[in-house]
Chain A
């Protein structure tokens, strides 16, 4: 069984560009919609690129703004100024 890298975000307008960016950059992503929350799963590694979120949002986005819409996650996290990565790869 693959190890699942996962992120759960608010189901709201602020989170939507982030969610769209994840779905674009992680084509095998699976989505579980819950009331108020959305869980996105990807096998092994999930990536959020600042550039893609900014393109969806139409303005600047600091990856640390993820804290405003984040509910939960799974995977080893690595975050810098351009990317957030949740991964089980070594």
Chain B
């Protein structure tokens, strides 16, 4: 037999996604795929799906294995060489604490979500892509745990991350985001996570933040971050393909998709508020401000994308102007909140030093000196007088995004924004028009939300006092509060001063 010519990637991909599937006959197709019709999305021809990377399983395993080998070589080297002593400052570790408790468990949720869509979408092309993404997300969760476990040997606030994620008040922000996506139908999940999160917003999480890790001497985190992000490019491609596919299949899909895009853009924007705080306040050495990252990755990149999608009639997400305007404020507002609450979190907080404040003034010339510097200077003065300010009340939460009511009116940064809806005789509260709209569209879904502050009042979080609740959260006694004077701070100082210490023991 003559040797056959090696297949090109287009041919290989066609075999994988066209030849391996079949129409079921013993069972009805609608019984085999029971979830891909109830959302109202109309698909006329699944074979129109095309994955532009055309990644077949053999290539997928080959590349993923190579990525893993490289990553684990770095993680080993980092641990062996005591890389934790070469980071810029122990304040940096707070970024890892927020990441491990707030983001890594969502990688796991994404794994579960894509496993579901990878089973329940009728077309084989998207099913293969979703299955690959499901494995990627599991890999991200695992590699993040492995990498950050090294820091857990030395620093507080990391050890009980799984329990914290399920119970702690600010961690319900990312948790509820993914709970919301995973309890939607498979198409909404794809628009929520595949399109809005992966394509429109994930760059804001991974690129400047991982570049920040590189700049702050955390070789292991930058490596897992960029290793994950190399999968992310494939996920972004899936996200953009899914939206084009839905819009091309039937004109009736447009209004449904537009509502999902509006909803998940706003939910994602609120979630990424946590990242804004990391970038502007927690990284000792900065890469770019949150506002600059937003300009590059939403205004510029998102603008190009939505201009492309105009041909299908899809519009920019609702309230995108409000989001861009709010980027002048959100990192300062959220960090100010963390500072006042750090004694009831698993994170440390501190007031920025003079150099850092000047950087913030330069990056936020319209807002920082006018609205936020005076507040921060007052807190610094109180610290100097031995009266470090902590807030000791329970916070009112937005019923949709579950962030505390801390954001201001779109046109007035001196007034807190409150919105309210009534449903079946109960009042529900929101931080913004975007969050109120999301609730009003599906109130019967959101009234069942698990809101951590309400749960404390209902007696479901360990007991009525702050120590009871903190014990329920599994916070250690040194996990939160002011950074200066903390165990982490003291450990760091001891490393920096230990020039003659004997290492062998």
Q: Footprint of B on A, CB under 8 Å?
A: 1, 3-6, 8, 10, 32, 34-37, 39, 64, 67-81, 88, 90
8 Å CB contact of B305 from A37, A39, A74, A81: A74
Contact across chains for A36 and B211 when beta carbons are under 8 A apart: yes
Decide if B9 is an interface residue (CB 8 Å cutoff): yes
Binding site for A on B (CB under 8 A): 8-10, 52-55, 59, 63, 66-67, 203, 206-208, 210-215, 222, 226, 229-230, 232-234, 236-237, 240, 287-288, 296, 300-301, 303-305, 307-308, 311
With A64-B59, A78-B52: A72-B232 Cβ-Cβ less than 8 Å: yes
Tell me the nearest residue of chain B to A75, going by C-beta. Answer: B304
Chain A contact surface mostly: strand
Known A-B contacts A73-B236, A77-B52; the reply to A67 vs B211 at CB < 8 A is no
A72 and chain B: residue at smallest CB distance: B203
List residues of chain B with CB within 8 A of the CB of A36.
210-211, 213-215, 222, 226
Residue of B nearest to A32 (CB): B296
Could you pull out 7 A-B pairs where Cβ atoms are within 8 angstroms?
Answer: A37-B214, A71-B207, A72-B206, A76-B308, A81-B8, A88-B304, A90-B311
User: B237 — nearest CB in chain A belongs to which residue?
Assistant: A77
Complex CA distance for A1 and B304, rounded to whole angstroms: 9
Given A3-B307, A69-B230, A71-B233, answer yes or no on A77-B207 (Cβ-Cβ < 8 Å): no
Pick the 9 closest A-B CB pairs, nearest first.
A36-B214, A3-B304, A35-B215, A35-B214, A77-B52, A34-B211, A71-B229, A67-B63, A70-B233
Contact between chains at A3 and B207 (CB < 8 Å): no
Give which listed residue, A4, A10, A88, contacts B226 with CB less than 8 A. A10
Q: With A1-B303, A64-B9 given, is the CB distance from A37 to B308 under 8 Å?
A: no
CB distance from A80 to the nearest CB of B (A): 6
Q: Do A8 and B207 have beta carbons less than 8 Å apart?
A: yes
Q: How far is the CB of A60 from chain B (nearest CB, A)?
A: 13
Please indicate the chain B residues that have their CB under 8 angstroms from the CB of A70 in the complex. 229-230, 233
Minimum CB–CB distance for A81 against chain B, Å: 5
Q: What's the minimum C-beta distance from B114 to chain A, rounded to whole angstroms?
A: 18
Q: How many angstroms between the C-alpha atoms of A76 and B307 in the bound complex?
A: 12
A65 CB, nearest partner CB in chain B, Å? 8
Given contacts A67-B53, A69-B230, A70-B233, 17 further A-B contacts (CB under 8 A): A4-B301, A5-B304, A35-B287, A37-B226, A39-B296, A64-B53, A68-B63, A68-B67, A71-B206, A72-B206, A72-B236, A76-B308, A77-B52, A77-B237, A81-B10, A88-B304, A88-B308
**Residue of A10, A75, A79, A88 ringed by the most chain B CB atoms within 10 A:** A79
**Considering only CB atoms, which chain B residue lies closest to A63 in the complex?**
B9
B240 A76 Cβ-Cβ under 8 A: yes
Cβ–Cβ contact A37 & B301, under 8 A: no
